[in-house]
Structure 1
Amino acid sequence: MMVIEMGKDIIVIDAGMLFPGTDIPGVDFGVPDITYLERNADRIRAILITHGHEDHIGALPYLLSKIDAPVFSSMLTNELILSKLKGSGLLRKARLHVIDPYEPFQIGAFSVEFFRVCHSIPDAMGIALRTPFGIVVHTGDFKIDHTPQDRNATDFSFLSRMGTEGVLLLCSDSTYAEIEGYTPSEAVVGEALSRVISNARGRVVIVTFASLISRIQQIINAGYRNGRKISVIGRSMNNNVKMALKLGYITDPGNVLVPIRESLKLPMNKTILIATGSQGEPTSAISRIANGNHQDISIQEGDTVVLSSSPIPGNETHVAKTIDNLFRRGAEVIYSRIATVHVRGHASKEELKTMLSITNPKYFVPVHGEYRHLKAHAKIAYELRQSESDTFVMENGDVLEITSKEAKVTGTVPSGTRYSDGKTYCGTKSNIFSERRSLSNKGVVSVNIVIDKKHNSLVGPPILSSIGFQNDGEEDESLKSASKMVQSALEEKWLNVLDLEDIEAKIVESISAHLYKETRKRPVVLPSVRTI
């Protein structure tokens, strides 16, 4: 998410979610901290969306539940937003607008114009904002592909005109700023997939992102050329294919797409399945197939499975496990490390140089990537003689102020990530995540004690039980000795001098010390003291 403001007007560009790592247990996704936007809600004139990937639209339900602002996007992106908002109950009040590229419109003090860029999803756009100070260009996610599947290349003719007019600020995609050379064309993947399908002796299962509409079209084309019928597995994949067919982003002139029940009746060497689960998600179609618990599909000897994707950092282990399980079930598995069955949707070094050279910005801010990617992109700019004083590698929350005379970072605003935890959202410093990490790393020992209030005595010995502390069948001598220790302490002194709150604190302290001495483990100790 990027916020651009001038005078009393604020424009928001993109509203994406992120998927947490293992250090944030028990949550599905994170959204931007929008404290600053909530404080300035009356100044927000529009939300501009560059394309329909989750890291650019995923936080819209959260944002629109807090802020009432119109949303502008391309046709395909708008359909993906509609689908997302239906599930959140926000569709009725949302103000969604479909825009066409190269048709300027006014938003407050900004003149806004979308332009085409090539990415791994159709209808991806960059944004040009004309201001009294000059033009701000936000590239969105882009690459240079001279043979894109949808025939919409990144429009360097438009960008050249912007450069001629004078680009005040360029904000450019940095995701693959560390990668030398050029990103290969999507056409390379189409050729590779066609070869795999042609050489396969049995059924072919192709796994990819549900949002890779262009990739799905390539599979349809290859299936038609090889005389195979195609079925789609996975709810999100089915929804996106139906939507793309309806809008014309996918065509099926050979009528190769058939329901799964029909393809199951065909010979194996006449079928292709397109499935979700390219990141090894446990509930995805391919993970269930790999684990042998999919209701319709089981791997057979002679099947070829193609993972037409690359693991997102953090998902490598899940993907590797899926590949291993597919091999165990007899499939031949082809993936991006051994064949060109996937290409990136982001520009590599030489393409980033081209963007900088054509737009020739006065100021430059690398965006969209980890900090090391931003630094790598800045280094590319320096090599092209972009002044270091006019290049800004910014952290989340940094404020860059541009006047007619200079640009400088002048401060920060509240920022960060809030994680979805049921119906609530928590910051990274919330105690709930540290507690969950402790529970998952150390196990839990619960202590149940009942006290006879009238006689101030125990009703039976303390009962200790554990989860994640001992292996099944492992002797529980440490728990038994801990129970005896606590019972003795209660009967000999604690019951006579301490109240219940202090007793619970003493139980935690003494059992933790005892178990560490006995086992060298530090489980979370949860006491429960009741009186009757």
Structure 2
Amino acid sequence: MSQVSIVPLGGAGEIGKNMTVLQEGGEMIVVDAGLSFPTEEMHGVDIVIPDTTFLRENKEKIAGIILTHGHEDHIGALPYILPELDVPVYGTELTLMLLTRKLVDRATGYSPKTHVLEPKKKVRVGHFEIEPIHVTHSLPQSCAIAVWTGLGIVLFSGDFKFDFTPIDGRLSDIARFGELGDEGVVALLTDCTNVEFRGWSPSERTVRAGFERVFREATGRILITTFASNLHRIQQAMDVSREFRRKVAVVGRSMEQTVRIGLHMGILHDPGEVLISADEVDDYKDREVTLLVTGSQGEPMAALSRIAMDNHRLVTLHEGDTVVYSARPIPGNESAIYQTINRLYRGGAKVVFGQEEGVHVSGHGYAEELRLLVNLTRPDYIIPVHGEPRHVYHYFDIVAPMGYGEENIVVMENGMELLIEKGGAKFAGRVPCGRVLVDTAAVSDVPEETIRDRSALAREGVVVITVAIDSDAGQVIGEPEISARGLLTNDGELNELKDVLKKKLSNASLADLKDPKGVELVLDDSARHYLRKRLRKFPLVLTSVVDV
């Protein structure tokens, strides 16, 4: 009896770190392998990736990793997991070039086996037959992925919208979606990021009007920040700059690399040779220059953040500059973004920011586009992904009038296994799943315990206790030494703690004092109890017993 298993390892009930395992007949394929960004509580963490324990345990079953497109939340985990899994990777030419760049940046020394996907051309991956279907998104060469199984087609929408006037003239392949629906889609895993927005998403082409308004009003330099991968947005900025007789400099390593890739592949075109290098900017008058800069999400090391803090090596902020935020904040980044905006204002710049300015549109479809995909494909089961619980809740609202109820809409969580059989679908338990916190400067993952310690240190400070003992003689040498950093205390409170610890030591037996580790544990517990119960403070406590 044919049986299909679907297991999201990331991207279910959340936005980011998309990764889904499809299994049939003892063979697996993985669709996407993305990252997400840390919350404010994850001190010292640079990125978050899915826990791949389940994949490592079933490595011999994996026929390949299939990529829908080249955004970080769909390919960003690969440099960290590919060397160990060592399986083939399938994606469009641009997607694979972006992946190669990430592997080089990571300096893994690993070169994966890659296969280029082209829309409308089926490829066999293991026993699976797959086909990429072109969709419009904020990154060129984005695809939905259709997978043929013994029960029908499993369709992964990827990130998509139905843009009817795309910059490159390549429409989403609506006809092909309809053909797949006629053939029989058993399950649709669909993007639901923008389900809360009614109607249809604006076309990418509408951003040009917003740019033109800004360019007409600007008297000085124009700095545009957007996602480094948004090649269509970059092309529009270059086109409008040429229209207003401005040169364009790209500032920020990731955007510089993406622009080079775009020009090499013919996705980007330099109209009238408007591109100049960043070190040529000062050769032109302010009204003759546009800067495309990284840092739309407030990243502290990105170009715009450095410019706002006046520590960029090539670009300084000028009075009268106009800074255009051509991106929407990723949830969790708002604080960093507004901090940068405030610094820009203090530096004398005008900032164009917000949906009403018309300088950004989303790459994700609105409610009517999500409904259209369902109408075209007519799946037996719908699995909303790439959305938080509130998005999934609203997704029920838009498809209920189409005849879909709770028996057809499957709400998944990361690690849950859905089994689809001829007679229906059911949950079959959970697989090992979680998140891996990555400090890109470290050689290993960041344990959750370390994050808890960093959070405590940031919120409450640290208390360091040092005691010297002679374990051979069973004696305490001197008194406990206590120091505190980042902890607000009243006069005498640390002295009270010192008295508590001295009493604890005086009550210790000879046998107790011959065990330095045991003394350390007792003092640590006593200090924590005092600080929490007596002072209602919760600092990180570090106790060290030195055996002299």
TM over 0.5: yes
CA shift for structure 1 position 485: 4.8
Q: Percent identity?
A: 39
CA–CA distance in structure 2, aligned partners of residues 363 and 209 of structure 1:
33
CA deviation map 1:150-198 (0-9, x unaligned): 2222110111111222222222111111211111111111210122012
Q: Is the CA contact (8 Å cut-off) linking 1:205 and 1:275 kept in structure 2? A: yes
Aligned to 1:525: 541
Q: Is the CA contact (8 Å cut-off) linking 2:238 and 2:271 kept in structure 1? A: no
The CA RMSD over aligned residues, in Å, is: 2.1
CA–CA distance in structure 1, aligned partners of residues 520 and 106 of structure 2:
43
CA–CA distance in structure 1, aligned partners of residues 473 and 180 of structure 2:
87
Could you tell me which of 502, 505, 520 is aligned with 1:504?
520
CA shift for structure 1 position 330: 0.8
> Alpha carbons of 1:201 and 1:480: their partners in 2 closer, same or farther (altered >3 Å)?
same
CA–CA distance in structure 2, aligned partners of residues 455 and 410 of structure 1:
61
Q: Is the CA contact (8 Å cut-off) linking 1:127 and 1:138 kept in structure 2? A: yes
CA shift for structure 1 position 22: 2.2
1:131 aligns with 2:149: yes
CA deviation map 1:336-386 (0-9, x unaligned): 244111111101101111111111112221122112222322332222112
Q: Is the CA contact (8 Å cut-off) linking 1:229 and 1:271 kept in structure 2? A: yes
Aligned to 1:423: 443
Q: Is the CA contact (8 Å cut-off) linking 2:475 and 2:510 kept in structure 1? A: no
CA–CA distance in structure 1, aligned partners of residues 364 and 120 of structure 2:
22
CA–CA distance in structure 2, aligned partners of residues 57 and 11 of structure 1:
15
CA–CA distance in structure 2, aligned partners of residues 504 and 414 of structure 1:
36
- Alignment TM-score, normalising by the size of structure 2: 0.91
Could you tell me which of 9, 32, 51 is aligned with 2:27?
9
Q: Is the CA contact (8 Å cut-off) linking 1:109 and 1:131 kept in structure 2? A: no
CA–CA distance in structure 2, aligned partners of residues 192 and 339 of structure 1:
7
1:493 aligns with 2:511: no
> Alpha carbons of 1:510 and 1:416: their partners in 2 closer, same or farther (altered >3 Å)?
closer
Q: Amino acid of the residue matched to residue 520 of structure 2? A: E
CA–CA distance in structure 2, aligned partners of residues 277 and 156 of structure 1:
35
CA–CA distance in structure 2, aligned partners of residues 55 and 482 of structure 1:
48
CA deviation map 1:231-267 (0-9, x unaligned): 1111111111111111111110311110112111210
> Alpha carbons of 1:132 and 1:292: their partners in 2 closer, same or farther (altered >3 Å)?
same
CA deviation map 1:199-236 (0-9, x unaligned): 20111111111111111001000100000001111111
> Alpha carbons of 1:12 and 1:511: their partners in 2 closer, same or farther (altered >3 Å)?
closer
Secondary structure of residue in 2 paired with 1:390: coil
Aligned to 2:294: 276
CA–CA distance in structure 2, aligned partners of residues 452 and 501 of structure 1:
13
Could you tell me which of 167, 171, 180 is aligned with 2:189?
171
CA–CA distance in structure 1, aligned partners of residues 208 and 94 of structure 2:
22
CA deviation map 1:68-124 (0-9, x unaligned): 211010011010011111234555441011121111121222211111000010110
Aligned to 1:122: 140
> Alpha carbons of 1:93 and 1:225: their partners in 2 closer, same or farther (altered >3 Å)?
closer
Compare 327-336 and 430-439 and name the one that shifted more: 430-439
CA shift for structure 1 position 64: 1.1
1:317 aligns with 2:335: yes
Secondary structure of residue in 2 paired with 1:395: coil
Unpaired runs of 5+ residues, structure 1, are none
Q: Is the CA contact (8 Å cut-off) linking 1:366 and 1:378 kept in structure 2? A: no
Which structure 2 residues correspond to residues 44-83 of structure 1 after superposition, within 5 A? 44-83=62-101
Aligned to 2:267: 249
Secondary structure of residue in 1 paired with 2:438: strand
Q: Amino acid of the residue matched to residue 450 of structure 1? A: A
> Alpha carbons of 1:70 and 1:512: their partners in 2 closer, same or farther (altered >3 Å)?
closer
CA shift for structure 1 position 59: 0.9
Aligned to 2:234: 216
Unpaired runs of 5+ residues, structure 2, are 1-18
Q: Amino acid of the residue matched to residue 449 of structure 1? A: V
Could you tell me which of 17, 39, 48 is aligned with 1:21?
39
Q: Is the CA contact (8 Å cut-off) linking 1:375 and 1:393 kept in structure 2? A: no
> Alpha carbons of 1:481 and 1:410: their partners in 2 closer, same or farther (altered >3 Å)?
closer
CA–CA distance in structure 2, aligned partners of residues 509 and 6 of structure 1:
52
**1 or 2 for the larger relative contact order (CA 8 Å, sep ≥6)?**
2
CA–CA distance in structure 1, aligned partners of residues 341 and 46 of structure 2:
23
Secondary structure of residue in 2 paired with 1:462: strand
CA shift for structure 1 position 475: 7.2
CA shift for structure 1 position 21: 1.0
Secondary structure of residue in 2 paired with 1:498: helix
Aligned to 1:302: 320
1:36 aligns with 2:54: yes
Aligned to 2:5: none
Aligned to 1:152: 170
CA–CA distance in structure 2, aligned partners of residues 426 and 524 of structure 1:
18
CA–CA distance in structure 2, aligned partners of residues 35 and 460 of structure 1:
50
CA–CA distance in structure 2, aligned partners of residues 84 and 344 of structure 1:
24
Q: Is the CA contact (8 Å cut-off) linking 2:527 and 2:541 kept in structure 1? A: yes
CA deviation map 1:2-42 (0-9, x unaligned): 11111122111100111121233321112112222222211
> Alpha carbons of 1:305 and 1:85: their partners in 2 closer, same or farther (altered >3 Å)?
same
Could you tell me which of 329, 346, 369 is aligned with 2:387?
369
CA shift for structure 1 position 481: 4.2
Aligned to 1:103: 121
Q: Is the CA contact (8 Å cut-off) linking 2:83 and 2:110 kept in structure 1? A: no
CA–CA distance in structure 2, aligned partners of residues 334 and 395 of structure 1:
38
Compare 413-422 and 455-464 and name the one that shifted more: 455-464
Secondary structure of residue in 2 paired with 1:407: strand
CA–CA distance in structure 2, aligned partners of residues 423 and 203 of structure 1:
42
Secondary structure of residue in 2 paired with 1:447: strand
